Amino acid sequence: MAAYLISAYTVTGDEDAFAQYRQAGLPILQRYGAEVLVAEEDAPAREGKPAQHTVVVRFPSREAAEAFYESDAYQRVVHLRTDNSEGWLVICDELAPLTTSSQPGDVVDIAGRRAASRATAVDNPDRWHT
């Protein structure tokens, strides 16, 4: 299952060093099968106060995303971002889609976990029965 690296940050330091990070990062991402889905600067806010940059990167798996982040190549350049920006970065697993089961009213996720009822699945997706 795919995983996503999601980051939001505002450049607070050396713009040139930060540009070096972006230039160095793309080839490293590509080595781990990553695809940059979003790289937006100054996205218009719908709620709250967004950071200057928003980035969403898709990896083929959580293992690939973690391997990228922990790689020697990335660790050599990550300071160019962290020393010159404020923000956050997370790695998230792709959400397994809900599918209906063969029993009317049941909802199951892709792993076959069955919700107690359709209402449970929609109102409280953390309450899965295995």
Domain that includes residue 125, residue range: 98-129
The DSSP output letter for 11 is: E
Domain count, the chain: 2
| Together in a domain, 41 and 105 | no
| Together in a domain, 8 and 32 | yes
| Together in a domain, 37 and 85 | yes
| Together in a domain, 48 and 23 | yes
pLDDT 10s digits, 40-50: 999 999 999 99
Q: Bridge partners of 3?
A: 59, 93
Alpha-carbon span 12 to 85, nearest angstrom: 5
pLDDT 10s digits, 71-99: 999 999 999 999 999 999 999 999 877 66
Alpha-carbon span 96 to 2, nearest angstrom: 10
Contact at 8 Å (CB) between 11 and 84? yes
| Together in a domain, 74 and 49 | yes
| Together in a domain, 26 and 57 | yes
Q: What is the pLDDT of residue 96?
A: 78
